[in-house]
Amino acid sequence: MVKLIGLILIVIACFGVGYYLSLRLKNRFEFLSAFKDFLSNLETNIRYNSSEIFSLVKFSAPGCIRDIFTENNSENFTTYWSECISKLPKRFALKKDDLNLLYEFGRMLGTTDTEGEINHIKLYKELIESNINNSEKELKQKSKLMKLLGLFAGLSLALLLL
């Protein structure tokens, strides 16, 4: 009986690992989609609001990333942006390419006039769109596979131990 419970726990643990990896793909896709929404909100706020860039960024951020935009402890927006992006939780499972894109976006934000800012945001909306498409494709292709591989690995291991 104890052996059977152990085998069941092995199967559940392996499936859990596959599920966790699948969830990371989903979190990345959701973050990138939320960031695109953030860019749209920021574009609108820059166009119709004359507040400083620090306030506009915090005001435009959707719920899942609003927490990283804390109080402004820096006079330089680029430094502030870099500090905020470095606080992104690991659960979003962002790739190096995604993070580089985020850092580059903040490097030029707040340095030009309104039209320059809007053009900058439009450019990055197009760039992030390709990352979203790749993430969505990866999610559709690999999510179910990871869950099944975890389950079958657990079943195989349980059969070997039986």
Stretches where the chain sits below pLDDT 70 are 64, 71-74
Cβ(154)–Cβ(12) under 8 Å?
Answer: yes
What's the pLDDT score for residue 49? 81
What's the pLDDT score for residue 19? 95
Q: What digits encode the pLDDT tens for the residues 62-75?
A: 776 777 777 666 67
Q: Which H, E and C letters describe 61-95, residue by residue?
A: CCHHHHCCCCCCCCCCHHHHHHHHHHCCCHHHCCC
What's the pLDDT score for residue 74? 65
Cβ(118)–Cβ(46) under 8 Å?
Answer: yes
3-class secondary-structure state, position 120 = helix
And the tokens for 12? Answer: 């559940």
Beta carbons within 8 Å of 41's beta carbon, 6+ residues apart: 59, 60, 61, 62
Domain spans, the chain: 28-140
Q: How many residues does the chain have?
A: 162
